[in-house]
Amino acid sequence: MLGKEGDFVQAGHGKEATVKKLQPDDIMIFYSPKTSLQNGKPVQAFTAIAKIKERDVYQVAIDDDFQPYRKNAKYEDCKEISIRPLIEKLEFITNKKHWGFRFRLGLLEIKQYDFELIYRLMCPFGKNQTIK
């Protein structure tokens, strides 16, 4: 949610190499397992969609121990959706019993079918301006 408020994306805990992979016009769907990294409450939902705006990567200093890399992005006006009803339908989740494992990789590319399924459920009323 901080990324949405600040119009930026970061991935892989802000590692530069991960963020550099993102190119202008790439679209990211964010999955949130919990409300925060440490001691967060379960969310288990797709929570945001953003389109990368720029090629440039920049670094911010949160504190002495955390200085993540980011890219600017434009977020869609979409709703959160639970992953639970989609587990059986999503092709990128190959092991339905241990479905959460796929998200441990951080940034992953999904096929068009999965993207469209998630996107239609999150943005059902055509209010989308960013993604064409």
CA–chain centroid gap for 99, Å, is: 17
- Over the chain, what is the mean pLDDT? 91
Q: Give residues with Cβ within 8 angstroms of 44, minimum separation 6.
A: 32, 33, 34, 82, 83, 84
Is residue 131, in this structure, part of any structural domain at all? no
Q: Is the dihedral of CA 84, 74, 67, 63 positive or negative?
A: negative
Could you give the residue ranges of the DSSP H alpha helices within 46-125?
A: 112-122
The CATH number that applies at residue 90 is 3.10.590.10
Domain ranges, residue 101: 2-122
As a whole number of angstroms, the distance between CA 116 and CA 124 comes to: 11
Any domain includes 129: no
For residue 126, what pLDDT is reported?
Answer: 58
Query: pTM for the full model?
Result: 0.88
Q: What are the tens digits of pLDDT across the range 69-96? A: 999 999 999 999 999 999 999 999 999 9
